[in-house]
């Protein structure tokens, strides 16, 4: 049912309908549309459009619909409704009859969609804010761990002066702090309600728009109806915030790609965020960082597209604005996913401290210290700079670092150089001198860590204007945190299996096969399939395993999830499954299935039950029933990767 058919003699063509309909994109705003409709029902009840009974019936139906959508949002996509507003109204009319047709009194889809989108942005903004703080905290943990690790600093990709790895981490903490500020500013400005602005000229009913705004959780109502229905600044600001933050993430990724290279060898990324080569067995590629770097362009494109869409639109609403949501949804999804992936990268990063120290000692990174030493001997800096340049040339000719030149050799360039020069040329001295605020000395890094931790606690505890209510935000943050904690667990304890693990995998599989928990697997089968196994470790000892069997493009099955008996119920099984799900995501698989006697366990990990008979014959044939279990108790479950 279209909401606008009375003016037309003929139906729109199917081709136009497909071109015009936005439901496949804006269905994500279903809950926000229903929440806005509940508030609107209350507003028109206050001005006499609805009586008490009608308000009760409409509100009850809308709440019932909201619960249904929250349980299964995909049901919306089965409809041929034009957009989410049409879908909600159709469902409401089915539940309440002609009463459902009264809800739209005094309201336009123009102010309705503007309100829905702002509500969605407020809720999503809270999740993004948490992801930024979580990313900051991951970088602070890494900074704390590596606060004493010496690292060569670069300008022009040339070694410049030594810094600490902790100082490098804290540079990104600063960038992400600015990202937090931009996001909070954007959330503040979008926290005004357009509902009640009508199509463009306002509503003809005496609605208390400020009260309506407060009922929806906005701090106030918009002041101009023309602007309210045609304003998409909040979309552009969020896209700009995402773009700048993605630029920071891309720089972070690029640094680590360089540090991870064979030429530098400063860091090694965890197996969880790396992949290999289909041709070269020795390769371990930093794919997570490369994807972060690549996805930055995708987010930039959404910002550019939205600016271009809006640049020449006359007031007020134009259908061009329907293009606001697809790019926004994709960009913010991408931003959040990249932040969460960057946390995994940081958590699993291994730093080669001897390699970073050796690199910092090369390239004459202490040349500035020698110039400063000469300045302390009353030589003007420009003259000292020239003298040290000549010293560096001589050292290069002799293939020696500055500190290995003899005093006699140094005095050839200045008689002001004395024996005490050597205490100024050490790495420790170079770092310790950077005591000014923001410097790389150990004491300054410790102060910065303490200040950053206090700032993050304040951000998470304060009431963010423009974000959703405290209870709502805490719920969203809890869900994100649970997901990140599970991913971290996988990053810390799970890795791809090696041939040296075959004996342990065979032992684990044989034990649990005898208990009737899983199907037996021969040693030859394990060896043949070893590249599809992952193992869980505790203190370097393998305590569990699992495998991923790929049937066809887009479909795979998790098999042989087993844990050492004494290590059960400690999260290792969940870590194995999370690792395989993340791997499936990287492989661009679509569905992961599991045949299990413990559906409640996999249900907690996001799997849903399906009819076992719906599986292909070859899958059923591959899964022979356990002689120790009733075949009727085996449940088929599926996890949708994307």
φ and ψ at 454, to 5 degrees? Answer: -65, -40
| DSSP state letter for 587 | T
* Structure-block tokens of residue 262: 């064979």
Q: Does an H or E element contain 130, and which?
A: helix 109-145
> Which residue is catalytic, options 156, 278, 500, 613?
156
CA 382 to chain CA centroid, Å, is: 48
Rounded-to-integer distance, Cα 572 and Cα 142, Å: 23
Q: For the chain, give the number of residues.
A: 642
In 558-640, alpha helices (H): 572-586, 599-603, 617-622
Q: CB of 347 within 8 A of CB of 488?
A: yes
| DSSP state letter for 404 | G
- Residue whose C-alpha is closest to residue 359's, from 288, 485, 266: 266
Rounded-to-integer distance, Cα 418 and Cα 476, Å: 63
Q: CB of 195 within 8 A of CB of 211?
A: no
Rounded-to-integer distance, Cα 355 and Cα 352, Å: 5
* Structure-block tokens of residue 596: 């299990």
Rounded-to-integer distance, Cα 332 and Cα 319, Å: 22
605 vs 275, 277, 536, 564, CA distance in Å? 24, 30, 17, 20
555, β-bridge pairs: 552, 591
φ and ψ at 494, to 5 degrees? Answer: -120, 140
| DSSP state letter for 218 | -
- Residue whose C-alpha is closest to residue 310's, from 431, 254, 227: 227
Is the preceding omega at residue 352 within 30 degrees of 0, hence cis? no
Rounded-to-integer distance, Cα 458 and Cα 395, Å: 51
- Examine the residue annotation and report whether 156 is marked as an active-site residue of this protein: yes
- Residue 87: HSE in the Cβ half-sphere, 13 Å Cα cutoff: 29
In 291-313, which positions are buried (b, 16+ CB within 10 angstroms) versus exposed (e)? Answer: bbbebbeebbebbebbeebbeee
Residues with Cβ within 8 Å of residue 277, at least 6 apart in sequence: 283, 285
> Which residue is catalytic, options 13, 261, 277, 522?
277
- Residue whose C-alpha is closest to residue 454's, from 54, 177, 183, 642: 177
Burial of 258 per CB tally in 10 Å (0-12, 13-18, 19+)? middle
**SS3 category, 161:** strand
Rounded-to-integer distance, Cα 608 and Cα 639, Å: 7
Query: Annotated active-site positions, please?
Result: 156, 277
């Amino acid at each position: 049912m279209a909401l606008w058919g009375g003016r037309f003699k003929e139906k729109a063509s199917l081709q136009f309908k497909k071109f015009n309909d936005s439901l496949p994109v804006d269905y994500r705003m279903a809950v926000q549309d229903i929440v806005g409709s509940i508030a609107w029902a209350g507003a028109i009840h206050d001005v006499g459009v609805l009586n008490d009974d009608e308000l009760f019936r409409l509100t009850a139906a809308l709440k019932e619909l909201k619960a249904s959508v929250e349980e299964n949002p995909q049901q919306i996509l089965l409809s041929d409704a034009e957009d989410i507003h049409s879908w909600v109204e159709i469902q409401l009319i089915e539940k309440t009859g002609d009463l459902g047709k009264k809800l739209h009194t005094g309201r336009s889809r123009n102010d309705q969609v503007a309100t829905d989108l702002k509500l969605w942005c407020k809720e999503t903004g809270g999740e993004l804010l948490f992801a930024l703080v979580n990313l900051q905290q991951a970088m602070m943990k890494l900074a704390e761990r590596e606060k004493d690790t010496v690292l060569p600093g670069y300008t022009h990709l040339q070694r410049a002066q030594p810094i600490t790895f902790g100082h490098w981490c804290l540079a990104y903490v600063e960038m992400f702090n600015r990202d937090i500020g931009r996001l909070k500013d954007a959330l503040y400005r979008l926290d005004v309600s357009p509902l009640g602005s009508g199509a463009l000229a306002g509503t003809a009913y005496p609605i208390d728009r400020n009260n309506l705004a407060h009922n929806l959780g906005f701090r106030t109502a918009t002041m101009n109806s023309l602007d309210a229905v045609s304003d998409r600044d909040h979309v552009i600001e969020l896209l700009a915030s995402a773009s700048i933050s993605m630029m920071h993430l891309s720089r972070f990724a690029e640094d680590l790609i360089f540090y991870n290279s064979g030429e530098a060898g400063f860091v090694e990324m965890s197996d969880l965020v790396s992949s290999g080569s289909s041709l070269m067995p020795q390769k371990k590629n930093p794919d997570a960082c490369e994807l972060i770097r690549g996805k930055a362009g995708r987010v930039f494109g959404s910002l550019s597209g939205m600016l271009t869409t809006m640049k020449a639109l006359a007031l007020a609403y134009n259908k061009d604005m329907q293009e606001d949501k697809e790019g926004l949804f994709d960009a913010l999804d991408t931003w959040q996913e990249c932040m969460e992936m960057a946390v995994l990268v940081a958590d699993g990063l291994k730093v080669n401290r001897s390699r970073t120290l050796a690199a910092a000692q090369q390239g004459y990174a202490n040349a500035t210290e020698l110039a400063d030493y000469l300045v302390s001997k009353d030589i003007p800096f420009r003259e000292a700079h020239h003298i040290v340049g000549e010293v560096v040339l001589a050292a290069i000719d002799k293939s020696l670092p500055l500190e290995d030149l003899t005093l006699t050799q140094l005095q050839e360039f200045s008689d002001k150089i004395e024996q005490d020069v050597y205490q100024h040329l050490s790495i420790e001295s170079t770092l310790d001198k950077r005591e000014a605020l923001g410097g790389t000395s150990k004491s300054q890094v410790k102060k910065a860590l303490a200040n950053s931790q206090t700032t993050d606690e304040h951000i998470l505890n304060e009431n963010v204007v423009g974000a959703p209510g405290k209870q709502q935000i805490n719920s969203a943050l809890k869900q994100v945190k649970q997901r990140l904690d599970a991913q971290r667990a996988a990053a810390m304890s799970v890795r791809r299996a090696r041939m040296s693990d075959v004996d342990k995998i065979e032992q684990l599989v044989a034990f649990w096969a005898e208990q009737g928990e899983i199907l037996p697997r021969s040693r030859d089968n394990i060896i043949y399939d070893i590249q599809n196994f992952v193992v869980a470790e505790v203190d370097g000892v393998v305590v569990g395993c699992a495998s991923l069997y790929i049937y066809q493009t887009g479909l795979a099955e998790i098999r042989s999830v087993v844990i050492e008996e004494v290590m059960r119920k400690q999260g290792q099984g969940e870590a194995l499954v999370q690792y395989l799900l993340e791997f499936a995501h990287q492989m661009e698989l679509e569905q992961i299935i599991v045949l299990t006697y413990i559906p409640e366990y996999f249900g907690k990990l996001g799997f849903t039950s399906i009819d076992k008979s719906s599986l292909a014959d070859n899958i059923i044939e591959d899964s022979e029933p356990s002689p120790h279990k009733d075949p009727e108790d085996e449940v088929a479950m599926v996890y949708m990767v994307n």
